[in-house]
Amino acid sequence: MKQKLRLTGRLQLYMQGTLLLGVLLALVDAWIYTINLKAGLVLSGFVLFYLILTLILVNFSRSILMNEMVSFATQYGQIQKKLLRDLEVATALLDENGRVIWTNREFEQISGKPKGFSKDIRTLFPSITRDKFPKEAGVLSEVSFSYGEKEYTARMRRIPLGQMVENSDIFETDGKYEGCLIACYLFDETALKLALRENDNQSLCIGLLYIDNYEEALESIEEVRRSLLTALIERKLNKYFASYDGIVKRMEKDKFFLILRKQSLKLLKENRFDLLQDVKTVNIGNDMAVTLSIGIGSDGLSYSQNYEFARTSIDVALGRGGDQAVIKTPEGVTYFGGKSQSIEKNTRVKARVKALALKEIITAKDKVMVMGHQDADVDAFGAAVGIYRIAKSLGRNVCIVIDDINANTAPWVEAFDDLDPDETTVIGNAQALEMADSNTVLVVVDVNKPSRTQCPELLKVCRSTVVLDHHRQGEEVVENATLSYVEPYASSACEMVAEVLQYIGDGVKLRSVEADCLYAGIVVDTDNFICKAGVRTFEAAAFLRRSGADVTRVRKMFRENADDYRARAEAVGHAKIYRKEYAISTCRADRTAAPTVVGAQAANELLNITGIKASFVLTEYNNQIYISARSIDEVNVQIIMERLGGGGHMNMAGTQLSGVTMEEAIEKLKNTLDTMLDNKEI
């Protein structure tokens, strides 16, 4: 049976309207019959004529109307096509693999490709990759990129083809079709981004500049020439920052306030803050070169936030030993400089002030807990023992938190426990979390990174926290610490605690084993008083000797077994020299009880090789790669380890890498060295 084409919707109502009027006339005609017979007959004739004429016109005009509609649709499609071709927004259709199917004139003008270009979109714009395509219909994805001398943003929309294919007479498919097209629109945002960039470059940055060794530098010259040295330093600062369109104003004798534009800050970064080295050339007979610490805040939401960033930055710069610039933004912290050794302070005023503050904090609480870093070494345990003795002398209950007693610290922990066999002094993490409450003060020693502490959860439980550490601070710090005593110039945490012990009061008296633990911590971190041993280091050692530390007993405790000795010798023997100045080796963990300690010892021994500026020993332990980095004075290994997520001192640092093999870790270390050497950061 032949199927006929029928109209629907409003068109059908329009075509049937005349017939409906005829029906209405017929009803009126029936009513007229009741009034007048002749009038009804006349009207009936007219209604019959009207209905016949209407039916003829409807049937005749249907084909004409359909023809006109088809013609209009064809012309409308051509108009749409022309509009899309001439659309001022660059538009392209891509298949699901990124191949160009259709482009308009604007797109062809931008890309420089003729009509009919059908290659992958990545051949034109490498930034538009398949992973940037929208995953769902109705989701708009964006990609910004540069092309030629202009900057564009590509906005892409997914167009599903499933329903189109299912209703098509051309295509057929087995099941539901999941294919799609990608509509890509290019927007020229060169002018907008240029304006935004210029506005951003003109935004102000706030900085604080401190002279690290102001008093020491003045004391090294004659009194009559001190004002000249101060004037020369200030003149150099003003002249330097004036060349970057910045302003420097003195706040105190050794502190300055700095304002400069972000564009100038970018230039300072490119020049790597050469002022840090330039200011050291100021010399009028002073024995000590002047060093600076600079803290800058940028990209804050307000000037006050930039100032807070600057305050945080200067604290970090000073906490890392000075002679460096630190820039803090909402995205993170950037370091420049920090290549010189920290300057040891001859005065103990700060140690005395911190000791009195620590005494007040401990006496205000009922319980004290002390913890060091994970995989605690002798320095961390020795410092914890010193704090234990301080708390005991003040009549407080105190415990040392160590959850993972390794072979390195086990002899010292055992000797310390034997002093009070009936008292539990060393506890694990779980027990510490049960005992801790709001009336507990937590003292963190030999670490200032929360994630590296023995029990990070304990920091959240204890409201009062004290930090005593000798490592340089990084971006991650213990927040809201009641007291923070971080001195990078100190050789060890045990040295710092030994100084604090001398100012707590007359009631503190160390027992011989406790003095041994503190003395051993200094010996370990100074490598038998070879590395970072200053005047105050020997003064602390002398105090501990007077308190009962026995050098012979400590040396016996440090004796190692044959397996450790062989593992260290093997690590030294298999070392490879990289770029003629860096020794890289590995240490096997299956032969020793404390592989990370053996690795650190091997790194120390590698420095005895002529021409070696820094050594790196990698140890695979507990599903991680531990890197021990050591140097004497030519390379700052701390900034190298910071690039790998670690930290430490200028000449003694380390890090841990997870999810990598030994070969990948070595390659990662080499790539870091290459990058920093090429950029002259080492």
Pair (262, 167) in one structural domain? no
At residue 263, φ and ψ (nearest 5 deg) are -60, -40
For the sheet with 483-486, list strands across it.
426-427, 397-401, 367-371, 440-445, 464-469, 483-486
**Higher per-residue pLDDT: 149 or 515:** 515
**What ranges make up the beta strands (E) of 161-254?**
180-188, 204-211, 247-252
Q: What is the mean pLDDT of residues 7-14?
A: 64
Nearest Cα to Cα of residue 657 among 623, 621, 618, 625: 625
DSSP single-letter state for residue 247: E
pLDDT digits over 656-677, tens only?
999 999 999 999 999 999 999 9
Residue 110 lies in a domain: yes
Residue 150 lies in a domain: yes
Q: What's the CATH code of the domain at 130?
A: 3.30.450.20
Nearest Cα to Cα of residue 142 among 201, 185, 83: 185
**Residue 115 tokens, joined:** 């009509």
Could you tell me the pLDDT band of residue 27, with boundaries at 50, 70 and 90?
confident
Nearest Cα to Cα of residue 407 among 625, 626, 619, 591: 591
Residue 378 lies in a domain: yes
Q: What's the CATH code of the domain at 507?
A: 3.90.1640.10
Q: What is the mean pLDDT of residues 231-242?
A: 93
Residue 49 lies in a domain: yes
Q: What's the CATH code of the domain at 672?
A: 3.10.310.30
**Residue 465 tokens, joined:** 């926290």
Residue 344 lies in a domain: no
Pair (386, 483) in one structural domain? yes
Pair (178, 267) in one structural domain? no
Pair (445, 364) in one structural domain? yes
Pair (37, 115) in one structural domain? no
Q: Report, in angstroms and rounded to the nearest whole number, the Rg of the chain calculated over CA atoms.
A: 40
Q: Are 401 and 432 in contact (CB under 8 A)?
A: yes
Nearest Cα to Cα of residue 475 among 304, 672, 312: 312
Pair (104, 43) in one structural domain? no
Residue 343 lies in a domain: no
**Higher per-residue pLDDT: 340 or 602:** 602
Could you tell me the pLDDT band of residue 344, with boundaries at 50, 70 and 90?
low
Pair (448, 577) in one structural domain? no
Residue 342 lies in a domain: no
What domain range is 585 assigned to?
Answer: 562-678
3-class DSSP state of 212: coil
49-63, 315-329, 413-427, 546-560, range with the lowest pLDDT: 49-63
Instruction: State the Cα–Cα distance between residues 74 and 307, nearest whole angstrom.
Output: 67
Strand 180-188 and strand 324-329: the pairing is unpaired
Pair (610, 639) in one structural domain? yes
Could you tell me the pLDDT band of residue 81, with boundaries at 50, 70 and 90?
confident
Nearest Cα to Cα of residue 448 among 490, 481, 404: 481
Pair (539, 450) in one structural domain? yes
Instruction: State the Cα–Cα distance between residues 403 and 399, nearest whole angstrom.
Output: 12
In total, how many domains does the chain have? 5
Q: What's the CATH code of the domain at 316?
A: 3.30.70.270
Position 49 scores a pLDDT of: 84
Measured in whole angstroms, the distance separating CA 675 from the mean position of its chain's CA atoms is 19
Pair (17, 162) in one structural domain? no
Domain boundary among 197, 226, 249: 197
Domain boundary among 557, 580, 596: 557
Residue 29 lies in a domain: yes
Question: Mean pLDDT in the chain?
Answer: 86
**Residue 628 tokens, joined:** 């021990």
Pair (237, 275) in one structural domain? yes
pLDDT over 50 at 73, yes or no? yes
pLDDT over 90 at 403, yes or no? no
Pair (578, 651) in one structural domain? yes
Domain boundary among 197, 221, 255: 197
